[in-house]
Amino acid sequence: MPFDSERAARVAYAAIRQLREEQGQSRGPVWELLVPEERSWYRRAVELAAIGVRLPNIHDDWRRGLEQSGWACGPDIDHVKKSHPGLLPWPALSDDQRRRLSVLQMITMALSLDVMSGPVPVTPL
């Protein structure tokens, strides 16, 4: 079965929503309520993570794309004002923001392994 970037993006986003809550932040909408542009951000990120692109480079790719589309750093994600709090260079991101990207990378790697090797055999105890 080939790598399914849509599935990986959905799973990663769900985990990131939960982590946001654990970090005391708003979870944000469920996947189905994200605007298509935002869903494409997550798909692109997992596609890059699946081929081994490093987190700072994934973040910079995302940031450059948004800035080229007229987005700027702002306090909240706002699709009308085109602002996003994560539109900062990698070194300027908070630990919480970096942790969320690490979750995306780990989930992508785990789902990629499933594609490469198939199900992991379980030995009865």
Both tokens of 30, joined, read: 């469920």
Residue 49 and residue 59 in contact, taking contact as beta carbons nearer than 8 Å: no
Query: What is the pTM assigned to this prediction?
Result: 0.84
For residue 66, tell me if it sits in a domain: yes
CA pair distance 22, 26, nearest whole angstrom:
9
For residue 124, tell me if it sits in a domain: no
Mean pLDDT on 81-105: 95
For residue 63, tell me if it sits in a domain: yes
For residue 42, tell me if it sits in a domain: yes
The rounded percent of the chain whose pLDDT value lies above 70 is 90
Residue 14 and residue 28 in contact, taking contact as beta carbons nearer than 8 Å: no
Domain assignment of residue 83, given as a range: 5-117
Per-residue pLDDT, 77: 87
Both tokens of 99, joined, read: 């942790």
Number of domains in the chain: 1
pLDDT in tens, 94-125: 999 999 999 999 999 999 886 555 554 555 65
For residue 122, tell me if it sits in a domain: no
Would you place residue 29 in the very low, low, confident or very high pLDDT band (cuts 50, 70, 90)?
A: very high
What are the angstrom distances between the C-alpha of 43 and each of 22, 39, 40, 95, 119? 23, 6, 5, 23, 23
Mean pLDDT on 62-66: 95
Residue 74 and residue 85 in contact, taking contact as beta carbons nearer than 8 Å: yes
CA pair distance 25, 52, nearest whole angstrom:
29
For residue 57, tell me if it sits in a domain: yes
Residue 7 and residue 111 in contact, taking contact as beta carbons nearer than 8 Å: yes
What is the CB-side half-sphere exposure of residue 48 using CA atoms within 13 A?
19
Per-residue pLDDT, 112: 86
Per-residue pLDDT, 3: 84
Mean pLDDT on 73-84: 92
Per-residue pLDDT, 58: 96
For residue 123, tell me if it sits in a domain: no
